[in-house]
Amino acid sequence: MRETSTPVLRRRRTLLVGQLPPAQEILRGSLIERYKRCGKPGCKCATGRGHGPKYYLSVSQPGARPQMDYVPQAALDEVRRYVANYHRLREILEEICAINRELLRRRERL
């Protein structure tokens, strides 16, 4: 990034800000696919994979066990998009921070 000119860095930062996903469409976590056994004698799930797939949103917090929330099938696509938005947001923020840090190193106006 050091060989990139200051105006190019500023333009890149502006482009990145324009790519940020809408704040109301962000969801932190990971989607987990699970198959469960119902416990009924003679059910096909006893010898197979189990019933499913069922989807859960797993959210980890430092020092705590991950929290799992059931995701209804009707909400699955939306939850996938929101989780992808969260990961894209983090990538964009990391790149913006790197640009800002480089401008600071150059003693340029942030």
Q: What is the pTM of this model?
A: 0.86
pLDDT in tens, 25-83: 999 999 999 999 888 888 888 888 889 999 999 999 999 999 999 999 999 999 999 99
What are the DSSP calls for 75-99, one per residue?
GHHHHHHHHHHHHHHHHHHHHHHHH
DSSP letters, 7-48, are HHHHHHHHHHHHTPPPGGG---SEEEEEEE----TT-GGGTS
Question: Which residues, in sequence order, are bridge partners of residue 51?
Answer: 36
Compare 87 and 1 and report the one with higher pLDDT.
87
